[in-house]
Amino acid sequence: MLTYSVFLSKQVIDEKTNELKSWLGANNYKAISSPRSAGFDPPWTLPFLRRNEVHIDIE
């Protein structure tokens, strides 16, 4: 799981997914699922206060 703030957009999700995949590879973890994103805050939350995550299950 990689946590970040800002708006959810395909570009940001793709960037954070690549960042998480790189970290997993560098630390010898094997991904066993497709990446998925999660957003936890209502739309009126200021971007720097938002909590978003990218998840990938590992073995």
Q: Averaged in consecutive runs of 10 residues, what is the pLDDT profile of the chain (59 residues)?
A: 85 94 96 93 89 94
CA distance 59 to 24: 11
pLDDT at 13: 92
Residue 25 φ/ψ, nearest 5 degrees: -65, -40
pLDDT at 2: 85
Residue 54 tokens, joined: 């990218």
Containing 2, the helix (H) or strand (E) segment is strand 2-4
